[in-house]
Amino acid sequence: MREWLEYAAAWTGLKLLGLLPRSAARFTGACFAAAAYRVRAPLRRAALFNLRLAFPDWTDAQRKQAIRGMIRQIGWMAGEFSQFPKYTRDNIERIVVVDGFENFDAARRRGKGVLFLTGHMSAWELAPFAQALYGYPLYFLVRPIANRRVDEMINAYRCRSGNQPIEKNRAARSMLKVLGEGGTVGVLSDHNTSLEESVFVNFFGIPASTTSGLARIALRTDAAVVPGFLSWDPQRRKYRLRFEPAVELARTGNEESDVIENTSRFTRVIEDYIRAHPDQWLWVHKRWKTRPPGEKPIYPF
């Protein structure tokens, strides 16, 4: 019964937002996000604590301003997600503009596949959706939602433009196949990772448990790792999907050393984007939760 109630609530909310004009859907999403943040004390604690770690020289006013921006971006993403059935190749340019496409295209033409390095920036669900509408669908790693019906519904929206999901827990073989065929795999690489799947690299100067899988796959396949991030451009009133040049991989012959170095390079790219748009990253996530064995927890709550 609970599973059905969760599905009914998710379906109803998504459909109702989808009936609204885009501007109204984004506004409504932002209101819901603000309300959810106000009633969820753990989210507030994590966001403020993370911002103190990342920007120790900031004032509390600066941190609160960044949080307001983050909440707005999350709410807008909910609104955008509900509008996916309305977005087509003919109208996507009114919503998302692409910069640096030549960087992605050069990597794609190498024929060894592309690993799309990205993070939870702005309306991150919109980035791969728009990329597919522009003519370059990809596979994306997902962690299944516990409620199977909700999971199927969300993935149906994600895949409307031609993308395909790869379950994160069974990813390696599927990724090797896609890359071997010259395809693209999107990887969100900015969240805390369990010890058995990670290496520790600096993130805002603090060691963070970070997935090592991206570096291992890149080294094994020679696929290009192309950073691509979505950000809101307030001047143009559009989202900007920016592709950067492929990250040069370190290859010293020592696999573990190369995995750590390349993971560090990927993480620096993500950090640079967050520093450029601090109000558009998901600060409510406990990025530094996993610690090296024997080290005390960073979070006091």
**Predicted confidence (pLDDT) per residue in 207-246, tens digit:** 999 999 999 999 999 999 999 999 999 999 999 999 999 9
Structural domain includes residue 288: no
CA 201 to chain centre: 19
Question: Tokens 């967050």 map to which residue?
Answer: 274
Q: Give the C-alpha separation, 51 to 129, whole Å.
A: 29
Helix (H) or strand (E) holding 142: strand 139-142
0.75 exceeded by pTM:
yes
pLDDT tier at 289 (50, 70, 90 boundaries)?
A: very high
Structural domain includes residue 231: yes
Give me the domain span that covers residue 130. 2-280
pLDDT tier at 9 (50, 70, 90 boundaries)?
A: confident
Task: Determine contact, residues 286/268, Cβ cutoff 8 Å.
Answer: no
pLDDT tier at 168 (50, 70, 90 boundaries)?
A: confident
Structural domain includes residue 243: yes
The residues with which 184 forms a beta bridge, in sequence order, are: 114
Structural domain includes residue 175: yes
Tens digit of each residue's pLDDT (9 = 90 or more) over 246-279: 999 999 999 999 999 999 999 999 999 999 999 9
Structural domain includes residue 100: yes
Structural domain includes residue 300: no
CATH at 108: 3.40.1130
CA 300 to chain centre: 26
Please state the domain count of the chain. Answer: 1
Structural domain includes residue 223: yes
Structural domain includes residue 227: yes
Token pair listed for 119: 């993070």
CA angle 95, 97, 100 (to 5 degrees): 160
**Mean pLDDT, the chain, integer:** 96
Q: Give the C-alpha separation, 136 to 19, whole Å.
A: 28
pLDDT tier at 170 (50, 70, 90 boundaries)?
A: confident
Nearest to 291 by CA among 170, 160, 228, 198: 198
